[in-house]
């Protein structure tokens, strides 16, 4: 039986074990998928122990996505472009790092929610591992511009630099948010609500018929999504659909088979309204 795991901190409430078990059942593939809690100090040892125990694939979640990219022997082009990895594939010589977050978000928005991202003016809030994962895929989906704000400006600049598209990518500061006009899509990729409160966001950020998405789900997504609704956003979604889609993409990389996401998404949605 092939062994898989998600490594994060905290990780106990991760839905990934449940999602991959459901995909495996659906496609008749026997697999073991566990959650490994590891702090940044413990990450190297945890990954090494997993590999030594025969682990063939791992998902990486917060706060390790950027660090994980640095320990991989090689990276896919999309992981390289964002400097973050959420999916690790065991090879004969080490780990191949991939990033399926961005494709997961774009699939959820375009296929599940019927949105067309082309030509959109997009605001990305956050510049950590989650933000990095989705930025390249948003650019590839044909958006017009990507403005990035983050509490720590150095990380905003670092992300803008690695994306390498100065004509479309604009690092900004939170203090500038009142002067940027409205956005057609606003993505919350911060973990702010997990720790404290959301940063202040003026409602002028929400253009008519704008969409808003929080990359998290459950209770931590509530403050941002409530803000977006109150500010007049049209389609307001949490990160549950993205989570299922990024998992499907990882499943395909590991098993060579694409699972059907709709039933798994519907089952999870019942628990997270
Ligand atoms: P993740 O994988 O969830 O992105 P991360 O790499 O630790 O995890 O990044 C967390 C993001 O949430 C960062 O953009 C972080 O801002 P900093 O780069 O300034 O740390 C953001 N964040 C966390 N707490 C926040 C808060 N209270 N206010 C604003 N931003 C916050």
User: Do residues 152 and 129 touch, judged by C-beta distance below 8 A?
Assistant: no
Give the domain range for residue 69: 2-99+241-271
* Helical (H) or strand (E) element with 21: helix 16-27
Q: Is there a binding annotation on residue 90?
A: no
* Whole-prediction pTM: 0.95
Looking at the structure, tell me whether residues 188 and 111 fall in a common domain: yes
Looking at the structure, tell me whether residues 7 and 78 fall in a common domain: yes
Looking at the structure, tell me whether residues 177 and 76 fall in a common domain: no
pLDDT averaged per 10 residues in sequence order, the chain, 273 residues:
97 96 97 98 98 97 96 96 95 97 98 97 96 96 98 96 96 95 97 78 96 94 95 97 98 98 96 79
Looking at the structure, tell me whether residues 129 and 211 fall in a common domain: yes
Looking at the structure, tell me whether residues 113 and 90 fall in a common domain: no
User: What is the per-residue pLDDT for 247?
Assistant: 98
Looking at the structure, tell me whether residues 109 and 233 fall in a common domain: yes
Looking at the structure, tell me whether residues 49 and 164 fall in a common domain: no
| 96 dihedral zone (left: phi>0; alpha: psi -120 to 50; beta) | beta
What are the tens digits of pLDDT across the range 241-272? 999 999 999 999 999 999 999 999 999 999 88
**CATH number of the domain residue 82 falls in:** 3.40.50.10860
- Measured from the Cβ of residue 267, the count of other Cβ atoms closer than 10 Å reads 13
* ipTM value for the complex: 0.96
Number of domains in the chain: 2
Q: Is there a binding annotation on residue 61?
A: yes
Q: Is the dihedral of CA 117, 119, 124, 127 positive or negative?
A: positive
65 is catalytic: yes
Looking at the structure, tell me whether residues 21 and 57 fall in a common domain: yes
Q: Select from 156, 192, 196 the residue to mutate for testing ligand 1; criterion: most ligand atoms less than 8 Å from CB.
A: 192
What are the tens digits of pLDDT across the range 194-206? 767 888 899 999 9
User: Do residues 163 and 171 touch, judged by C-beta distance below 8 A?
Assistant: no
Distance (angstroms) between ligand 1 centre and the Cα of 261 equals: 29
Q: Which atom of ligand 1 is nearest to the CA of 127?
A: 14
| 175 dihedral zone (left: phi>0; alpha: psi -120 to 50; beta) | alpha
Looking at the structure, tell me whether residues 261 and 226 fall in a common domain: no
Looking at the structure, tell me whether residues 8 and 125 fall in a common domain: no
**CATH number of the domain residue 162 falls in:** 3.40.50.720
Looking at the structure, tell me whether residues 124 and 217 fall in a common domain: yes
In angstroms, the CA 188 to CA 183 distance is 13
Distance (angstroms) between ligand 1 centre and the Cα of 207 equals: 25
What are the tens digits of pLDDT across the range 93-118? 999 999 999 999 999 999 999 999 99
Looking at the structure, tell me whether residues 115 and 193 fall in a common domain: yes
């Amino acid at each position: 039986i092939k062994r898989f795991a998600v490594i994060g901190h905290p990780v106990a409430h991760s839905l990934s074990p449940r999602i991959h078990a459901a995909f495996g059942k659906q496609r008749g593939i026997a697999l073991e998928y566990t959650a490994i809690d590891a702090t940044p100090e413990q990450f190297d040892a945890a990954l090494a122990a997993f590999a030594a125990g025969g682990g063939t694939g791992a998902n990486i979640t917060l706060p390790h996505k950027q660090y994980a990219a640095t320990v991989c022997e090689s990276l896919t082009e999309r992981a390289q472009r964002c400097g973050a990895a959420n999916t690790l594939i065991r090879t004969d010589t080490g780990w191949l790092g991939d990033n399926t977050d961005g494709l997961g978000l774009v699939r959820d928005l375009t296929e599940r929610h019927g949105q067309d991202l082309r030509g959109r003016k997009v605001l990305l809030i956050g510049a950590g591992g989650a933000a990095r994962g989705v930025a390249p895929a948003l650019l590839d989906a044909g958006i017009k511009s990507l403005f990035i704000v983050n509490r720590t400006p150095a990380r905003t600049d670092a992300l803008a630099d690695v994306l390498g598209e100065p004509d479309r990518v604009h690092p900004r500061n939170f203090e500038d948010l009142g002067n940027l006009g409205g956005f057609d899509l606003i993505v919350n990729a911060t973990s702010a609500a997990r720790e404290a409160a959301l940063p202040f966001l003026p409602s002028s950020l929400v253009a008519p018929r704008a969409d808003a998405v929080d990359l998290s789900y459950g209770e931590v997504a509530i403050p941002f999504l409530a803000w977006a609704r109150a500010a007049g956003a049209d389609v307001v979604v949490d990160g549950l659909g993205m989570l299922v889609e990024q998992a499907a993409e990882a499943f395909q990389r590991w098993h060579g088979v694409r699972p059907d996401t709709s039933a798994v998404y519907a089952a999870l949605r019942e628990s997270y309204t």
